[in-house]
Amino acid sequence: MLSGFLFSWWLCFSPYTTQAPAPEKPVNIVLIIGDGMGLAQIALAEYLYKPPSPLAQMEVIGLQKTHSATHLETDSGAAGTALSCGVKTFNAAIGVDADSTAVKSILEMARDRGMKTGLVVTSSIVHATPAAFYAHVTSRGSYEEIAAQLVATGVDVFVGGGEKYFADRYSDGFDLVESLKKKQYQVLHLDDPRGRANLESIRKEHKIACFTALEDPIRASMGRTYLPWMAVEAMDALEKRADKGYFLMIEASQVDWASHANDQEWLALEMQDAFAMMKGVLAKVREDENTLLIITADHECSYMSLKGKRSPRVEFSTKVHSSQMVPVFADGPGAEEFLGIYENTEIFKKMKDLLGL
Contacts to Zn ion by CB under 5 A: 256
Please report how close the Cβ of residue 23 comes to Zn ion at its closest, in angstroms. 35
Taking the least distance from each CB to Zn ion, the nearer of 34 and 332 is 34
Please report how close the Cβ of residue 107 comes to Zn ion at its closest, in angstroms. 21
Q: In angstroms, rounded to a whole number, what is the distance separating the alpha carbons of residues 164 and 28?
A: 32
Encode the chain in three state secondary structure: CHHHHHHHHHHHHCCCCCCCCCCCCCCEEEEEEECCCCHHHHHHHHHHCCCCCCHHHCCEEEEEECCCCCCCCCCHHHHHHHHHHCCCCCCCCECECCCCCECCCHHHHHHHCCCEEEEEEEEECCCHHHHCCCCCECCCCCHHHHHHHHHHHCCCEEEEECCHHHHCCCCCCCCHHHHHHHCCEEEEECCCCCHHHHHHHCCCCCEEEEECCCCCCCCHHHCCCHHHHHHHHHHHHHHHHCCCCEEEEEEECHHHHHHHCCCHHHHHHHHHHHHHHHHHHHHHHCCCCCEEEEEEECCCECCCEEECCCCCEEECCCCCECCCCEEEEEECCCHHHHCEEEECHHHHHHHHHHHCC
**Spatial contact of 266 and 221, defined as CB atoms under 8 Å apart:** yes
Please report how close the Cβ of residue 307 comes to Zn ion at its closest, in angstroms. 23
Taking the least distance from each CB to Zn ion, the nearer of 179 and 262 is 262
Taking the least distance from each CB to Zn ion, the nearer of 94 and 110 is 94
Residue with nearest beta carbon to Zn ion: 256
Taking the least distance from each CB to Zn ion, the nearer of 88 and 321 is 321
Please report how close the Cβ of residue 49 comes to Zn ion at its closest, in angstroms. 23
Taking the least distance from each CB to Zn ion, the nearer of 91 and 105 is 91
Please report how close the Cβ of residue 68 comes to Zn ion at its closest, in angstroms. 13
Please report how close the Cβ of residue 86 comes to Zn ion at its closest, in angstroms. 22
Residue 307 backbone dihedrals phi, psi, to 5 degrees: -130, 180
Please report how close the Cβ of residue 38 comes to Zn ion at its closest, in angstroms. 12
Taking the least distance from each CB to Zn ion, the nearer of 29 and 146 is 146
Q: Is 339 exposed, middle or buried (0-12, 13-18, 19+ CB in 10 A)?
A: middle
Taking the least distance from each CB to Zn ion, the nearer of 207 and 260 is 260
Please report how close the Cβ of residue 111 comes to Zn ion at its closest, in angstroms. 28
Residue 144 backbone dihedrals phi, psi, to 5 degrees: -70, -40
Taking the least distance from each CB to Zn ion, the nearer of 256 and 337 is 256
Please report how close the Cβ of residue 259 comes to Zn ion at its closest, in angstroms. 7
Taking the least distance from each CB to Zn ion, the nearer of 108 and 256 is 256
